[in-house]
Amino acid sequence: MTHKQIILVPTQKNPETNTKENPSLSLSLSLLSLSPSLSVSAMTSSSSPSRKALSKIACNRLQKELSEWQVNPPTGFKHKVTDNLQKWIIEVIGAPGTLYANETYKLQVDFPEHYPMEAPQVIFVPPAPLHPHIYSNGHICLDILYDSWSPAMTVNSVCISILSMLSSSPEKQRPTDNDRYVKNCKNGRSPKETRWWFHDDKV
Would you say 98 and 166 are in contact if contact means Cβ atoms under 8 Å apart? yes
> Rounded to an integer, what distance in angstroms lies between the CA atom of residue 95 and that of residue 33?
8
Q: Considering the domain delimited by 25-193, tell me its CATH architecture.
A: Roll (3.10)
Q: Is the pLDDT of residue 191 over 80?
A: yes
The question of whether 141 is a catalytic residue gets the answer yes
Tell how many helices (H) and how many strands (E) occur in the chain.
Answer: 3, 4
23: pLDDT strictly greater than 60: no
Question: Which of 21, 68, 75, 86 lies closest to 48 in space, CA to CA?
Answer: 21
Judged by DSSP in three states, 81 sits in coil
Q: 163 vs 78, which has greater pLDDT?
A: 163
| pTM passes above 0.75 | no
Residue 77 has what pLDDT?
63
Q: Which range among 49-63, 72-86, 120-134 shows the weakest confidence by mean pLDDT?
A: 72-86
Q: Which of 59, 141, 159, 185 is catalytic?
A: 141
